[in-house]
Structures are given as C-alpha cells and as structure tokens.
Amino acid sequence: MHFDTTTFELPQMLRRRGDGDMPRRTFLKVATGSGFALGAFPIAATAQAAAPADAALKPTQQPSAFVRIERDGTVVVTINRLDFGQGVQTGLPMILAEELDADWSKVRSEHGNADPAYVDPAMGMHLTGGSNSIKNSYTQYRELGARTRAMLVSAAAAQWGVAADTLRTENGSVIGAGGKKLGYGELADAAMKLPVPTKVALKDPKQFRIIGKPTVRLDARAKSSGRQGYGIDVRLPGMLTAVVARPPVFAAKLKSVDDKAAKAIKGVKAVLRVPVDRGGDGVAVIADGYWAAKQGRDALKLEWDTAHVEKADTAKLLASYRELAKKPGAMKYKADISKLASAPKKISAEYSFPYLAHAPMEPLNCTVSFTGNAAELWMGTQMPGLDAMAASKVLGVAPAAVKVNTQMAGGGFGRRAIPSSDYVVEACQVAKAARTAGLNAPVRTLWSREDDIKGGYYRPMHVHRAEIGFDDKGNILAWDHVIVGQSILKGSPFEAFMIKDGIDATMVEGMKEPYDVPMRLSVHHPQVNVPVLWWRSVGSTHTAYAMETLLDEVARATKQDPVAYRMKLMGDKHPRHKAALQLAVDKSGYGKRKLAPGRAWGVAVHESFESVVAYVVEASVVKGSPKLHHITAGVHCNLAVNPASVEAQVQGAALMGLSMCLPGAAITLRDGVVEQSNFGDFMVPRITDMPQVAVHIVPSAEPPTGMGEPGLPPLAPAFANAIARLTGSTPRELPFRLA
C-alpha cells in the first residue's frame, strides 16, 4: 500500500439529508410505527454493572458497555457492529485506544449484541451498513476512550491523594510525580465505580499515535491460521442441524410431500413443513449433522403449486424494461431537454445490468436455542436488534426473552442486513416446529452455497436509457435519462421516508453529481416476483457505470482528454473529487508513461457514502476477451483511521467490481426459476483475474467517511472506458459481452 504524505463499507440516504430524506426524530417515529422498533431492544445492559450512569449520557456513551480492563492490563473493546471482513474489529478499538492511551499490544475486541448501547449512535438502530461503522462511531469511540481514561486518572489520584490534573497517561498506565506508575489493570475496578464524566477533552489529531498508522488487524492471526470461528461454526451440546427445501419459484406452495425416503436416512430426526419467506412453503429436514440433513432433503419427493405465483423470466423482463425506458417515469430531476433535437452532437445509449447474488464465502446460517418461553440466537447479523424483534414475534416470546449472540461473519455485502430477517425468521420457524415435534435441542439452520445463490434477495436488474446532446467543446446541452428497476425499499420499514414521489432513493444515488449537467432523470419501478436487496454500494453499482462511461464517450467524441474533461466539468465545487482523481493520475503515470502495445488507459471517479474513489486502470483485449492488468486508486475518505484497512477495502471492492464485468457474472431466471446455483455458473474472479492494485490515500485530518463500499462503483466504468479506447465501442451490458 502507498500512504501518500504529500498530497494528502446502507444507501447514502440513510446518512445524509436530501430529497426524500427526513429528520432523525421523524425517522424514529415512522420506523417504530411500522413495527421496526429502534433502540428498544432486548437484553438490558446488565452484564456491565459498573460506574453510576450519568443521566445526561445515553447508553451509547457509557464506557461500562464498551470497555473491560482485565487485571493484567488487557483492554477488551466491544464493537457495536458486525465484522464480516471490513476490519471494524480493529478500527473501532484503535479509535478508543487512542484516547484511552492504551497499550495497543494488550488491546482485544469482541462483538456486541442487541443491547441498546450498541445501536448506531447516528441512526438510533442496530445497523452495520451504509459504510457507516467508522464514520458514525468515530466521535463516539473517541469519547468512550477519553471518559475511561479520565476515570482511571481519577482512581489513581484518589489512591495517591493528589490532584488528577497532576497526572498523565501513557501506554496503559497512569504516571505521577517522580515517575511512579499504576497500570490500568490495577486501577480498573476502582475506576469503573466512579461517576462517568459527561464532558471530556479529545486529543488534537497531531497527537495521534495509533489512529492513522497502518495497523495489522486484531483478527489476522486467527483468520490466517484457520482458528477464527464464524456463525457457521457454532456448536452447542445436543445441537441438531436443519436444511430446508424451498420453493423453486418464489412464494410457491406445496401440493404434496413424500418424506418416507428422507426419514429412512440415518441421523434424520424429523421432516417438518415450515413457512418460508414471502409466504411460501418449505420442508425442513432436521438431523444429527449437515450431511445427514442434506441427504434427507435430497431424498424428498415434493410437488409444488406454482400456478398462482408470477414466474419471472429474465429475457421477458429485459424486453419489458426496454419498452418502459422509452418513456418518462416518475421524475427525479426536471430539466429543459428541448435542445436535444438541435444539438450538433448526440449520444443515444441503452444499458442493461443483471440481477446479482451476494454470494458471501460463508453461506447463511442461524442457530436457535428455544425453550418455549425464551430463546438464544447465534448468527452473523448486520441488524441484531431487528432480527431479535423478528425472532420474538415468530417464537411468541417477549423481546426481553430473546438473546442475540453476534458472530463473526464470512462476508455478506448486504445480505445479512435484511428488513424481512428472512433467514432468521426461517430458523426460528424451524426451531419452533422442532420443539413442537418433541426435539428439545438447539437447531442450526444451515444454507448450502446452492441455497444461498438460488435463495433470493439479489441486486435488482436495471435498464438505463440516455439521450445526450452536446456541442463540439463537450458542453452538455441536454441530457434525458430513464432508469427502470425494482425498488429495494418498497414494502420495507424504510419505504415511508426513502421513497418520495414514487422514487426509491437508492436507485438514483450517484446520478448527476459531481457534474453540473442539465439532466432530466425519471424512474420506473416495475413489481416483479424476485426478492431484491441492497448489494455492496447499492445504486452506485449501476449509476456510476452509466455516468462515467457516458462522460468518457463525450470526451472521446470531442477529442478531449478524459481526465481534463472531468476536471473541467467539476469546476471548483468538488475539491475532494479532483484531489482523488489527480492523485490516481499522478501515481499511475497516466499521460506520461508509455503503455505496452495493445493496452489502454481507463479512468473513472465516483463518490459514494461520502468518500471519493478514482481509478486509473490499464487494460487490454486479447482474442475478444477483456483483461484488467493494473489499477491505481486515489482515495479521499478524510482521515484514514487504519490505512491498511482502507487499502484492503479498496482492493476487495475493486475485485468485486471486476466480478460484475466477467462472463457468467449474472443471475438469470427462466419460468420463475433461478438458473444459477454455485460458483460453476455464477462466476467470481479467480486468482488469475486479479490485477495489480496500488492504493493511494489523500491526506486529511477531517473526520472519516465511509470506506466499505466506495471502492466498488468506479472500477467497472474505468475498465469499460479502457476497452472503449481499444475497440471504439463502450460495453453497454454487464457482464461485458464484446462482439
């Protein structure tokens, strides 16, 4: 990674006020009224009985819920997020340890749960999403560290009989006159019984010794050695494993079940009908272990009733979307497009983007221990509070009787943050049915890779249609743009405040900005029997591609350098975009270094989740196949808490962006049935596809912005723009299909 010292990962609408957004107070009122309880979650913070809680402080501000200091000085920091690869199990402790003046070698971390203390302090709900983890908890964790430090100093002052302001802290100790020293482990018990200070002074960033330094992740050794446990690894005494046969067409019902062969499989304990997502029927096979359960499911003879459900078909949907895109829809941006007809130069473009599966390395899973009047759950979840409430409803127990144990998750990309809590609800239905059948044991409901890819909740399919008129200098005279795609938010608790005038805010994020162009933008939201959900970087997965390839086309048509053209369109209003782009350009050698024969430069820049990532790439086309060779990234995320994590996030996001481009990277349906089932037919990049990636960070001391997702959107358009320079034609379809 390159950390430049001279040129110093939910939808964006969840964080930033704008069209269709509403104040946080109204958000809480609407969401709670929709049955989406925020803040009032189970498990009171009783495990941390400690210092008297100051009434002026919220649960999210109380050190006792977040910091545990052991006798040997080890500092255990509880994180209020799910870590599923993005590195917050290191980033958040770094922030707290900085203000605490902890000995970093003795810092550890653990997951929180559905306790009210662990809600997102900006959102008021339990949420890992929207690239908000570091951004929304930066000040929170700094203050938690500073409050804990102040309490430790007060405890030392009382023990020594001196004034607190005569003491200082360093590397896990309080230090007094003459160099006398008390370790944090010696002071912790007394300190945590003291009143919690409401106001604390925070360090000047110039004093940071942990924040801003590339830091090896706390979970690196466990993961690299195979010792890291995930939700899928939960083992409880007497635990059984269930797999579920789900409808081949979403929401279909069962006509008949022949389970004789399944019940004959050694280890199978029960075969039970259970409700599944979207009102469909399912059959759970419960056994001693996964293999027996899977064999039992394979032996089932099921007849399905699909006559009364819509059977989505990709080819037919694409044709209907293309027809819809020919006419205006619900209007997002109004602009005068009368100059289109008389414009000296024009571009007419249609883009198509497929359904995409999240396909995390760890398939979905949830373990439920249900006693009849209480329940305990183990899973990697991005929304533990919401999932706890859903479990409470299914199991018929009080919310306070549901305990959630958040586990490390092996990826998710949005699939573990689902308003319907589908996989959690299903696991609870299985556990409830098992208990009714006399199986009084914990039940782990486990999805296979095939279940995961065929099981629904995809990035929606989209069609974009654009008509652009411009002059010989590249001045945009008129831009008419229509987007067609399902709404992610319709029917969810977010609908009330994130769908305005018929437009899902997640679909149009990333359009128009940072370029001041006269765009008329409208939207169609067809209803389709395919479950859809946010997918890493949400709307920007398709809007960045359309915007950045179209602007590159205008630059080529008017014989302008694509970097200079973008800089001109940005003007003086977007210094962070310009800084990120210029850094990528400078570090790549763009315009100065001669490329190997058959290679071309590609450029794209995009803001998502308040961070800007610019890519300058080198690519080639060999025998009709595109190949990405090198990526240079310029990143503006304000202060990089852990530059090593920023590098890792950009590398991973770039690779995921590349996955959108490669043949086979699409989910398709025929007669309502998903055609893909595993990595053999839903392709992800292999090691041979991985380009060299150099990440450069624009230095800044401003509070950090999001980094989990912003590295994804500009990759595909940068790659496409390089291909266009080689072939003379911009790929209009993802994954790429070169003629």
Q: Please give the single-letter amino acid code of residue 252.
A: A
Alpha carbon distance 140, 61 (integer Å): 7
696 and 714, same structural domain? Answer: yes
Neighbours of 199 (CB within 10 A): 9
Question: 470-508: per-residue pLDDT in tens?
Answer: 999 999 999 999 999 999 999 998 899 999 999 999 999
Burial of 589 from C-beta contacts in 10 A (0-12 / 13-18 / 19+): middle
Q: Which two tokens stand for residue 299?
A: 């032996």
Examine residue 16 and state whether it is found in any structural domain, yes or no.
no
> What does the pLDDT read at residue 493?
87
Alpha helices (runs of H) in 109-231, residue ranges in sequence order: 133-160, 184-191, 220-225
Tokens of 478: 């008129």
416 and 292 in one domain?
Answer: yes
CA 259 to chain centroid = 39
Same domain, 435 and 574: no
Tokens of 634: 């310029």
**What single-letter DSSP state applies at residue 303?**
E
Mean pLDDT over 315-344 rounds to: 97
H or E segment to which residue 466 belongs: strand 462-470
**Could you tell me if 216 and 244 lie in one domain?**
no
Within 8 A by CB and 6+ apart from 130, the residues are 10, 11, 12, 14, 15, 609, 706
Residues 437 and 476 both lie in one domain: no
Using alpha carbons only, give the angle 490, 492, 498 rounded to the nearest 5 degrees: 65
Out of 26-40, 284-298, 388-402, 411-425, which region has the weakest mean confidence (pLDDT)?
26-40
Q: What is the pLDDT of residues 335-382, one digit of tens each?
A: 999 999 999 999 999 999 999 999 999 999 999 999 999 999 999 999
Q: What percent of the chain has a predicted confidence (pLDDT) above 70?
A: 92
Instruction: Specify whether 122 is located in the same domain as 40.
Output: yes
Domain containing residue 281: 231-307+364-446
Summarize pLDDT for 610-658 with one digit per residue, the tens. Answer: 999 999 999 999 989 999 999 999 999 999 999 999 999 999 999 999 9
Which of 20 and 604 is assigned the larger pLDDT? 604
Answer yes or no: do 121 and 198 share one domain. Answer: yes
Give residue 738's pLDDT band: very low, low, confident or very high (50, 70, 90): confident
- End-of-domain residue from the set 389, 424, 446: 446
Across 590-607, average pLDDT: 97
Q: For residue 56, what pLDDT is reported?
A: 86
- Strands 625-636 and 692-697, sheet pairing: parallel
Q: What is the pLDDT of residues 201-252, one digit of tens each?
A: 999 999 999 999 999 999 999 999 999 999 999 999 999 999 999 999 999 9
Measure the CA–CA gap between 364 and 410, rounded to whole angstroms. Answer: 9
Which of the listed residues 424, 446, 468 is the one where a domain comes to its end? 446
Q: What's the rounded Cα separation, in Å, for the pair 642 and 644?
A: 5
Whether 130 and 161 map to the same domain: the answer is: yes
The rounded mean pLDDT for the chain is: 93
Per-residue pLDDT, averaged over 37-61, amounts to 54
Query: What is the domain count for the chain?
Result: 3
Residues 521/337, Cβ–Cβ less than 8 Å: no
What are the φ/ψ torsions at residue 432 (nearest 5 degrees)? -65, -45
Q: How many CA atoms lie within 13 A of 11 on its CB side?
A: 27
Domain assignment present for 290: yes
Q: What is the mean pLDDT of residues 494-523?
A: 95
Alpha-carbon distance of 669 to 356, in angstroms, equals 12
615 part of a folded domain: yes
Rounded to whole angstroms, the Cα distance separating 662 from 708 reads 22
Mean pLDDT of the region 134-154: 98
Backbone angles phi, psi at 319, to 5 degrees: -65, -40
**pLDDT in the model for residue 257:** 98
d(CA 238, CA 696): 51
DSSP per-residue codes, 357-414: ----SS--EEEEEE-SS-EEEEE--S-HHHHHHHHHHHHT--GGGEEEEE---S--TT
Confirm whether 11 is domain-assigned.
Answer: no
**What was the pLDDT predicted at 702?**
97
The answer to the question of residue 739 being in a domain is: no
Q: Which of 192, 222, 252 is the last residue of a domain?
A: 222
Query: How remote is the C-alpha of 567 from its chain's centroid?
Result: 30
Q: What is the CATH number of the domain that holds 389?
A: 3.30.365.10
In a domain, 31, yes or no: no
The lowest-confidence range among 13-17, 109-113, 446-450, 501-505 is 13-17
Q: What does each C-alpha distance from 342 to 471, 559, 562 come to in angstroms?
A: 10, 21, 25
H or E stretch including 109? strand 107-111
User: How far apart, in whole angstroms, are the C-alpha atoms of residue 717 and residue 617?
Assistant: 10
For residues 371 and 334, membership in a common domain is answered with: no
Residue range 291-310: mean pLDDT, rounded: 98
Q: Indicate the DSSP class of residue 120.
A: -
Tell me if 147 sits within 8 A of 197, measured CB to CB. yes
Domain assignment present for residue 21? The answer is no
Residue 295 placed within a domain:
yes
Query: Taking the alpha carbons of 645, 651, 657, 659 in that order, is the dihedral positive or negative?
Result: negative
Does residue 51 sit in the same domain as residue 161? Answer: yes
Q: List the Cα angle 482/484/485 in 5-degree steps.
A: 150
DSSP 605: E
For the segment 101-123, what is each residue's pLDDT rounded down to a tens digit? 999 999 999 999 999 999 999 99
pLDDT surpasses 60 at 42: no
247 and 271 fall within a common domain: yes
Q: Are residues 148 and 186 in the same domain?
A: yes
The pLDDT score that the predictor gives to residue 9 is 35
Nearest to 486 by CA among 713, 321, 310, 279: 321
